[in-house]
Amino acid sequence: LPETLLFQLLGLSIATLSTVAHYGLRFTLISNVSLDSNAYKVIHHTAFYFGICLSMTLILAALLSSAATVRESQCLTAMGFFCFALAFCGLIPAACWRYTHSTEVEDSMMDVYDFVYEEVRRNTSSFRRHELTAIHEAFLCCGKHSPFGDTTDVENKTCPPDQVHSEGQDCLREIQDFLKKHVDFVFSLLSIAIGFTVYGMFLTSFLWFSIHFSSNLYRKGKYTLR
């Protein structure tokens, strides 16, 4: 069925996006550096597991609906409806969280960068300096721009040479822009998923009633003698 393929593609898209966001270089760098008191690490892991569970639920719902159509099974149809309803109940809180915490992901990620930057500025620890250098290389940015336009020793020691001489992008702005694009894309995918789950619930409901009434009509007028 075309609808089944659409639901499976949607589930695979969500799983792919969740995997890329979890194991992507930029995300893992920030997650590894962040402290336990920072909210980013919790958001990072929660988003991954939520995306994987959601994708598996959508794919399972699509497979159950397809099998129910072929076998005309009311039980499989009801299970498909339950999977779509379960996905819908998970998507609505996720969408609401995006509205109520619109900047929490960006703020927590920028807090991690601020922490590493200040640690390098106050200390000569090579460990933190390597972390800051890795962030600069991953985001193609260079430190925090001073209102006076000058660069500090931190930028000179941790930024790639081409970024230092060409006055590279401010890292806080670069992180914010990168995350805003990513989160907007994720929210668009969530909106599409909400629409598809509602459609899936209507489709499985219609299928269940169709099987139920056609089964009753098929038996109508047939009698057995005992």
Q: What is the pLDDT of residue 192?
A: 93
**What percentage of the chain has pLDDT greater than the value 90?**
30
**pLDDT exceeds cutoff 70 at 31:** yes
**pTM for the full predicted model:** 0.81
pLDDT at 7 over 90: no
pLDDT value of position 79 = 92
Whole-number average pLDDT of the chain:
83
- Helices assigned H by DSSP within 123-170: 126-139, 153-158, 161-165
* Whole-number Å distance between alpha carbons of 20 and 48: 9
**82-111: pLDDT as tens digits:** 999 999 999 999 989 888 887 888 889 999
Q: What is the mean pLDDT of residues 138-150?
A: 71
196 vs 200: CA distance, rounded Å: 6
Question: What pLDDT shows up at residue 184?
Answer: 87
